[in-house]
């Protein structure tokens, strides 16, 4: 794991991700959210606000 991120483990009460996840593949979204979970303090919360599309081709239109 990135040494820079290691000092951030269990460091945050709240993480907000807005209008960014739709740029990731489904697998990348899973990896990203798993990473965010390691950065939260116990009882912390992640807020995700983004757009959703039925298919990837709809996103690319």
DSSP 19: S
8 A C-beta contact, residue 22 and residue 51: yes
- The answer for residues whose C-beta is within 8 angstroms of residue 27's C-beta and 6 or more apart is none
pTM here is: 0.75
Please state the domain count of the chain. Answer: 1
8 A C-beta contact, residue 39 and residue 9: yes
Q: What average pLDDT does this structure show over 36-58?
A: 90
What range does the domain containing 19 cover? Answer: 3-60
pLDDT of residue 29: 94
- pLDDT for 33 beyond 70: yes
* Percentage of the chain exceeding pLDDT 70: 95
- pLDDT for 3 beyond 70: no
8 A C-beta contact, residue 32 and residue 1: no
8 A C-beta contact, residue 19 and residue 50: yes
């Amino acid at each position: 794991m990135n040494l820079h991120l290691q000092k951030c483990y269990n460091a945050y009460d709240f993480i907000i991700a807005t209008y960014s996840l739709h740029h990731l593949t489904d697998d990348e979204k899973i990896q990203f959210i798993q990473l965010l979970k390691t950065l939260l303090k116990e009882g912390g919360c992640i807020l995700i606000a983004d757009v959703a599309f039925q298919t990837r081709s709809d996103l690319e239109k």
